[in-house]
Amino acid sequence: MESDSVKTVTIDSMELILARPAKLPLRWVGQKELIKQVLAAWMVVDDRDIPFNPRLIGKPGAGKTTLGYAAAKQLNREVYLFQATMDTRPEDLIITPVISPDNKIKYAASSLVTAMIRGGICILDEGNRMSEKSWASLAPLLDDRRYVESIITGLTIPAHRDFRFAVTMNEDASTYEIPEYIHSRLQPQIFVDFPERDDELMILKENLPFADKEILLYTVDFLQKAHKADEMYSIRDGINMARYAMKMIRTEGIGAEDAFHQAIVMILGEEALQYE
């Protein structure tokens, strides 16, 4: 029974505080095939069917979280983000006790559990930073059982039929090996690579509509050279360099080339100048 405020929900006589959905200024540009792959994974084709839990894999900064968020918004669903870390505990993923302003113990549903209850979409970010113990708590959610159990409250919480899940994983950040029984529940694997030049330029223009064309071209050329050399420099790095270069132009009155040169050094270090 859900309260009118949509801030709490009562399950088996226990009130849970719900998390707030994420509202981010993220827009997916280019590579439309990847959006289609995520949406296909989340589709159900029959009342007896269940959605997949796609695993979005790629280098840091390739846009995995943006991809998941954009796909979720195409379905017009609430989106919830959960940032996994080495310290993430099973209870962090499900329900945690909190002290209210009146010094009473209350129980807060995680963003994941809130998405389950509300029929939203949860994106678990950097899932391969999380321990097997934490993943084990999600095993029944990620197969045809589609529920989680809270040891703290004793509740068993089923997922709304509209609930969808995706996990992002950085190729270089495997703090823990994910067990095979979890890997088999995180399918399909969708690889998110750095974009081609035209798409990357579109992304830069989308994020930096105020930037000079010359700076954008310097940036995309730098990134494309770095990608070909299999460097980890991402579009996020490119955006930061272009922003810094624009600030240098405005404050120091220097030319675009000199400003971008300084931006490379200040943002990435002198070792990155080889891709200038």
Looking at the fold, whether 122 and 76 belong to one and the same domain comes out as yes
Cα 248 off chain centre by? 31
Q: Report the C-alpha dihedral over residues 226, 232, 238, 239, rounded to 10 degrees.
A: 160
Is residue 1 one of the residues assigned to a domain?
no
Using 50, 70 and 90 to split pLDDT, how confident is the model at 173? low
What integer pLDDT is reported at residue 172 of this predicted model?
A: 65
Domain termination residue (choose one: 191, 223, 243): 191
Beta bridge partners of 105: 99
Residues 6+ positions from 79 with CB-CB distance below 8 Å:
21, 22, 24, 69, 72, 73, 120, 121, 122, 123
Convert the pLDDT of each residue in 113-153 to its tens digit.
Answer: 999 999 999 999 999 899 999 999 999 999 999 999 999 99
What integer pLDDT is reported at residue 101 of this predicted model?
A: 78
Residues 6+ positions from 215 with CB-CB distance below 8 Å:
242, 245, 246, 249, 256, 259, 260
- Count of structural domains within the chain: 2
Q: What is the DSSP string of 233-249?
A: --HHHHHHHHHHHHHHH
Query: Which H or E element spans position 118?
Result: helix 111-118
The mean pLDDT of 156-163, rounded to a whole number, is: 96
Convert the pLDDT of each residue in 5-36 to its tens digit.
Answer: 458 999 988 889 999 999 888 788 778 899 99
Encoded amino acid at 273, one letter: L
CA 102, CA 123: separation in Å to the nearest integer?
A: 33
Higher pLDDT pick, 21 / 4: 21
Domain termination residue (choose one: 191, 215, 236): 191
What integer pLDDT is reported at residue 159 of this predicted model?
A: 97
Is residue 2 one of the residues assigned to a domain?
no
Is residue 41 one of the residues assigned to a domain?
yes
Cα 264 off chain centre by? 26
Instruction: Residue 260: give the domain boundaries.
Output: 197-275
Looking at the fold, whether 242 and 124 belong to one and the same domain comes out as no
Looking at the fold, whether 156 and 214 belong to one and the same domain comes out as no
For residue 141 the two structure tokens come to: 């959610």
Looking at the fold, whether 120 and 217 belong to one and the same domain comes out as no
Looking at the fold, whether 148 and 227 belong to one and the same domain comes out as no
Q: Are 39 and 71 in contact (CB under 8 A)?
A: yes
Residues 6+ positions from 97 with CB-CB distance below 8 Å:
105, 106, 107, 108, 152
Residues 6+ positions from 162 with CB-CB distance below 8 Å:
77, 119, 120
Q: What is the CATH number of the domain that holds 47?
A: 3.40.50.300
Domain termination residue (choose one: 191, 213, 232): 191
Q: Model-level pTM? A: 0.85
Convert the pLDDT of each residue in 237-263 to its tens digit.
Answer: 999 999 999 999 999 889 999 999 999
Is residue 83 one of the residues assigned to a domain?
yes
